[in-house]
Amino acid sequence: MPSDLIGLRRRHPRPPVRMVHLGLGAFHRAHQAWYTAVSEPGWGIAAFTGRSAGAAEVLVSQDCLYTLVVRSDQGEETQVVESIVEAHDGTDLEALRTLLRRPEVAVVTLTITEKGYHLGADGHLDEQDAEIAADAVTLGPALEPGEGPALRTVPARLLCALRARHLAGAGTVAVIPCDNLASNGPTTTSLLRDLASLAGSDTAWIDETVDVVGTSVDRITPHVSAEEVAALAHAHRNDDATPVVTEPFRSWVLSGRVRGVRPAWELAGALFVDDIEPFERRKLWMLNGAHSLLAYSGILRGHDTVAQAVADPECRAQMHALWDMDEHGLAEHPALHTREYRRDLEARFANSAIAHSLRQIAADGSVKLRNRVVDVLIRERAAGGDGDAATTVLAAWVRFVRAELRAGRALEDAAAARIAEAVGSPDPVRALIHVISPQLAEDQSVVRRVQYRS
């Protein structure tokens, strides 16, 4: 960075750590950290990285401060967010255990991506996953790694730290998953119980100590390239090496019991509801499902960003067909206002000031599509529909992975090895669908429709 740039400075006293976040990345910093900064400046966040220590090191070097750049076609606004006060390597289990033993630390939020939960196609803990199996052995009945190998997965680290809190008598804690999973609250609860059981431990203490809150989260936050980091530093005359770019829209819907204290996020616009499932479906099916469709169809048609893909008449027509089917599946919930929601989505997708990479969205399709497309397709088929719009998405994914492998590119997908094996099988389309959903792979009509389009 040029030497004449101004360093970021805190305007307020550093708040104490009262909240832990797992999965330090751009979305957390545009969403949960922003909501906390705006609503509860007295709540400091200790954030742990997901994949590497690099993000924590950069953030620590600038006092855990960063610039949030909110962009639209009308211009941009910036603010320095001060809610993160510590940043740690995600593998630093002792720091996580130490923090959760403190009674004043009352909330743990998660943005570890869909694959970070290590779920199988049935939505439950994949006990055959090599890393999960190894972590269960390392934890043992005491859920204490001791001198054994380092824990490899976020679920195992979280379970170990929650157990440490329980044994310390530090009180209840709210665990709040903020990832794009159907029923992410109940899924996280069963994940913790299943992993504890796999390790040979009891699970009663989880209900005694842990409140899991379901959520639906929404704010488009693309990856920021090194070139854009430099351009933003020059434009704003600061030395921020890790700014976050996002859109004006934001939404956070939560549901569940919290016996302890939590930030009053509703002061920043968060919504607490009794039944979150309809909100989850609307977001997963309509926003995330359309994102996946645009990613695979858009890349195949030569586009790089969401804004480019949604401007393509063919991609846009496919998107509207998918939304028509989604609306049919959500018709019993008129309070969701799906017609207005899809109109707003189209405007958000067309925001040319947000360069949302299609390849960023396309990663880990085998996991993402289960929540974004499979659920609504199964429901549509059960109701007697053909599910054409959803099979279009699956077919685009099939064409995409085949094209990637033909071009010699490595698939960025948790199931890359299984996908490559399926592509080389005698019945590749059925085998690929099976990677995503064994149930759909048995539906002859779905398989034929995907074969026809791929």
Q: How confident is the model at residue 4 (pLDDT cuts 50, 70, 90)?
A: low
- Mean pLDDT for 285-294 is 98
pLDDT beyond 80 at 148: no
Look at residue 73 in the predicted model and tell me its pLDDT.
87
pLDDT digits (tens, 9 = 90+) for 190-247: 999 999 999 999 999 999 999 999 999 999 999 999 999 999 988 888 889 999 999 9
Look at residue 33 in the predicted model and tell me its pLDDT.
98
Q: How confident is the model at residue 408 (pLDDT cuts 50, 70, 90)?
A: very high
Look at residue 1 in the predicted model and tell me its pLDDT.
45
**Nearest of 8, 5, 59 to residue 33 by alpha carbon:** 59
Burial class (CB in 10 A: 0-12, 13-18, 19+), 415: buried
pLDDT beyond 70 at 31: yes
- Mean pLDDT for 9-15 is 91
pLDDT beyond 80 at 5: no
Look at residue 213 in the predicted model and tell me its pLDDT.
98
pLDDT beyond 70 at 270: yes
Look at residue 3 in the predicted model and tell me its pLDDT.
47
Look at residue 2 in the predicted model and tell me its pLDDT.
47
Give Cα separations from 331 to 164, 165, 338 (angstroms): 45, 43, 8
Residue 81 phi/psi, 5° resolution?
-95, 130
Distance CA 315, CA 63 (A): 43
Distance CA 287, CA 272 (A): 20
Distance CA 82, CA 73 (A): 27
Distance CA 284, CA 187 (A): 15
Look at residue 51 in the predicted model and tell me its pLDDT.
75
pLDDT digits (tens, 9 = 90+) for 125-147: 999 999 999 999 999 999 998 87
Q: How confident is the model at residue 186 (pLDDT cuts 50, 70, 90)?
A: very high
pLDDT digits (tens, 9 = 90+) for 316-350: 999 999 999 999 999 999 999 999 999 999 999 99
Look at residue 7 in the predicted model and tell me its pLDDT.
76
Average model confidence (pLDDT) across the chain: 95
As a residue count, the chain comes to: 454
